[in-house]
Structure 1
Amino acid sequence: MKLLALALACLAMSAQAQRPQLTPEQAAAHTTAAYLGDWKPAPLADLSAASPDFIVKPGESVQAAIDKVPANGNKRWVIHIQPGTYRGPLCIKDKAPLALIGSPRDAAAVVLVDNRFAGKPKGENEAAHPCIPELGKTTIGTSGSTTMLVQSNDVQLISLTIANDTMDGVRLGETYPPGAGESGGAQAVALTLSGDRIQLDNVRLLGHQDTLFAKRAAPDKPARQLIRHSLIAGDVDFIFGNAVLVIEHSTILTRANRRTPGHGGIMLAPSTAPDVTQGFLVTHSRIVGEPGIAPGGTSIGRAWDAGVKAGTWIAGTSPNGVAVVRDSEIGAHVGPWSASTSRRPFDAATNRLNEFNNSRP
């Protein structure tokens, strides 16, 4: 009996080491209010309160409406997108405060979608994306694969779906497109946020690898991004970047059937600068998996050591991702934190990836 008790205690200690928990005092620094700082999110644009500035109907161009918004101003411009599917890359860059609103009753009724992926070939003089030239390269690249790129501050995305469906066929048994596979090239971003004071509410973000890229426009630029009452779905590193990102009262869904059975997914991949103490915060949310994912088969996350080759990570100099998952329901499909992208093993003493007060459904 003593040996059994000792073995169980060792297992518990091992699990604790791989899933470290904050103390209440430590958790007090990782709240929505602390992450947003002096930003008090503006009320969401409301179609019932005022007429939109532009209305986009099926068959029309969402980008054309975005292009009509001026570069600056005090008022918030509102674009209402009517129910339908709108295909093609979208660029919101250097615009006045802007809101894109879909169908308040059903976020699935308006779908903004494209099917670009990192390994997709392109000409050296061909832009990778309307927002990202990437000239001189011969593939789209991860950044260029994004369906929508928001490179403006004070943007609201409300009641709509943003998707990258390029790997949907693989889930159904089709082969990967040329230039993509499990070993690389399959990164296909649905939404890139590269700005400050960005709000998403009742939005569905659908992809596989690298669904949501939450980043700073520059290392010294603020990037506070708030996602509420939304769904984020993917399989590998599908929430990644170096922004200050809060996901609140939302659902994070790990998707199955794209990768070879036994190859688990990874949810969070923060790339926080070493001198920054706030990264990704998931709070009061549900973390669920599709049928077919083995218990513990999905890593809760790993540090994205952006730009760091294996074996060259330096404490205090290299990125060291911050992520806290707290006050949330975490399904049995979720396992421990993983080694970083530069292959440094997870170590609670050096990694900044933690949990607080989570529960099983």
Structure 2
Amino acid sequence: MASLRKITVAKDGSGQHRTIQEAVDSIPRESAGRVVIEVKAGEYREKLVIDRPDVSLIGEGADRTTVVWGDYARKAFPSGEPYYTFHSYTALIGGDGFVCEGVSFVNDAGPGELVGQAIAAYVDGDRVRFRNCRFVGWQDTLFTGPLPPNPLDRSTFGGPREGQPLRPSRQYYEECCITGDIDFVFGSATAVFERCELRSRGGEQPPKEAGGAAYGWVTAASTPQGAEHGYVFLRCRLTADAQVPAGSVHLGRPWRDYAKTAFVLCELGTHIARAGWQDWNGRGEAGGVAYEEFGNEGAGAAAAAAGERTSWSRRLTEAEAERLSADDVLAGSDGWRPSAEGGEVR
């Protein structure tokens, strides 16, 4: 195996750089081979952009190495123009072949209608892997790009990828923890989440847009038409803060037509609504969505076993569920196998 170039980041000055962004910027854009950025423990308060290919970001543990920022959708630029959702990120990860382990990405803008959406990580590189990481926010914590073709409520999305060609993205999350309250995993990627925790947060009051019928939503997929897979959650745990009422959180709602989301062999807490899924502007009933479950356990799964989920969702057969391994879902035309790449960066 070819030798790896390594860079150390440390807040105390004991590494080559004091900030992660300085380390990223030191990598030539046409760099050959993988570059490993080892980040020592500490809170790195910076708005991070990783746009080089084949970068590994290795922290000292998600409880010790944290990237944090606090932008939000309703914040305004000096011109008065709002940030909107897609400028609010703490970390923008656009390089293909990105690997991350032992890092937390936090947006600390806080909950509430004065803040709006506040992304912790905007991820739209291809063949991206996260292991033992945390993503912490409220509304729209983790965006798995690319963007949908067109915005729904204005002429532009107003984010860093505005006007760029949309391309497929495959993403793999292993033993990560993602927290939020509204659509806190959302976007158009084909993404597999394996043995992850998805934690619904308890705020001061239920989201107003829920109309009192729900406390929040875990996912909001915008899977492109024709894509074989959208989100696949394998052996994950869906948990909630104590303030989150029982039966008040839906597994997902379709951000666009053709949204696809599957929960397989997951543990669903009491906070999961009996209907499981919630419609969004008629897309559930008539938008060609695929919302699926198989073999889930826990109080939140009882309604699925009893056939009480919403009529436009379905239970997978055992044979269908067996075809949803990470390697099968993410293979693409190049045969990518994230399970075979577990240890090359250490």
Q: TM range, normalised to the smaller chain? A: 0.7 to 0.9
Match status 1:333 vs 2:271: yes
Pick one of 132, 142, 162 that aligns with 2:105: 162
**Cα contact 2:4–2:33 (8 A) shared by 1:** no
Verify: 1:56 aligned to 2:10, yes or no: yes
The offset of 1:273, in angstroms, is 1.4
Cα distance in 1 for residues equivalent to 2:33 and 2:204: 44
Per the TM alignment, residue 348 of structure 1 is displaced from its structure 2 partner at its CA by 8.5
- Cα displacement (A) at 1:56: 2.9
- The equivalent position to 1:293 in structure 2, one of 227, 236, 244, is 244
For residues 88 and 54 of structure 2, the distance between their equivalents in structure 1, rounded to whole angstroms, comes to 25
Cα contact 1:91–1:149 (8 A) shared by 2: yes
The CA distance in 2 between the partners of 1:293 and 1:109, in whole Å, is 27
CA change 1:349–1:142 in 2 (3 A) is closer
Offset of residue 227 of structure 1: 0.3
Unaligned runs of 5+ in 2: 147-160, 300-346
1:351 CA displacement: 2.5
Pair 58,119 (structure 1): closer, same or farther in 2 beyond 3 Å: farther
Instruction: Output aligned runs, 1:73-88, within 5 Å.
Output: 73-88=31-46
Cα displacement string for residues 247-304 of structure 1 (whole angstroms, at most 9, x for unaligned residues): 0011000000243485511101000112212101111111111102111100110000
- Identify the match of residue 223 of structure 1 among 153, 156, 169: 169
Q: CA deviation at 1:229?
A: 0.9
Instruction: Tell me by how many angstroms 1:58 deviates.
Output: 4.6
The answer on whether the counterparts of 1:56 and 1:65 sit within 8 Å (CA) in structure 2 is no
Say if 2:206 is the partner of 1:249: no
1:266 counterpart (196, 214, 217):
217
What whole-Å deviation, never above 9, does each CA across 1:149-189 have from its counterpart, x for those lacking one? 0111000111011000111xx5xxxxx5xxx43xxx51000
Q: How many residues align?
A: 271
Whether 2:75 is the aligned partner of 1:117: answer no
User: Does 1:209 pair with 2:163?
Assistant: no
Is the CA contact 2:174–2:195 (under 8 Å) kept in the aligned structure 1?
yes
Code of the residue aligned with 2:11 in structure 1: it is K
Match of 1:145 in 2: 88
Q: Tell me which structure has the larger Cα radius of gyration.
A: 1
How far 1:220 moved relative to its partner?
Answer: 5.3
RMSD: 2.3
1:347 and 1:246 mapped to 2: Cα distance? 25
Q: Given the superposition, is the C-alpha separation of residues 278 and 212 from structure 1 closer, same or farther in structure 2, using an over 3 Å criterion?
A: same
Q: Does 1:192 align with 2:122?
A: yes
In structure 2, relative to structure 1, the CA distance for the partners of 1:220 and 1:86 (3 Å cut) is closer
Q: Which amino acid aligns with 2:99?
A: Q
Q: Classify 1:84/1:349 alpha carbon distance in 2 versus 1 (closer, same or farther; 3 Å).
A: closer
Counterparts of 1:58 and 1:235 in 2: how far apart (Å)? 35
CA contact (8 A) 1:58 1:84 kept: no
Corresponding residue for residue 233 of structure 1 = 179
Task: Please report the TM-score for the alignment, with normalisation by the length of structure 2.
Answer: 0.73
Give the match for residue 279 of structure 1.
Answer: 230
Letter aligned with residue 155 of structure 1: F
Letter in 2 for 1:190: A
Is the CA contact 1:70–1:96 (under 8 Å) kept in the aligned structure 2?
no
Q: Give the aligned partner of residue 72 of structure 1.
A: 30
Partner of 2:331: none
Give the structure 2 partner of residue 33 of structure 1.
none
Deviations 1:59-113 (A, max 9, x none): 72211111011223442101111111111210011x131011111xx31101100
Aligned residue number for residue 324 of structure 1 = 262
**1:32-51 to 2 correspondences below 5 Å:** none
| Percent identity over paired residues | 28
How many Å separate the matches in 2 of 1:219 and 1:329?
Answer: 38
CA contact (8 A) 2:47 2:90 kept: yes
Tell me which residue corresponds to 2:153: none
Equivalent-residue separation in structure 1 for 2:175 and 2:91 (angstroms): 20
- Separation (CA, whole Å) in 2 of partners of 1:151 and 1:326: 28
**CA distance 1:58–1:245, change in 2 (3 Å):** farther
Question: Take 1:96 and 1:282, find their aligned partners in 2: how far apart are those partners?
Answer: 26
1:360 corresponds to 2:298: yes
**Following the alignment from structure 2 to structure 1, what is the Cα–Cα distance between the partners of residues 50 and 267?**
34
Q: Structure 1, unaligned stretches of length 5 or more?
A: 1-42, 44-48, 125-136, 171-175, 306-318
Amino acid at match of 1:212: L
| Amino acid corresponding to residue 347 of structure 1 in structure 2 | E
- The 1:224/1:214 distance shift into structure 2, 3 A limit, reads same
Question: Which SS does the other structure have where 1:353 is aligned?
Answer: strand
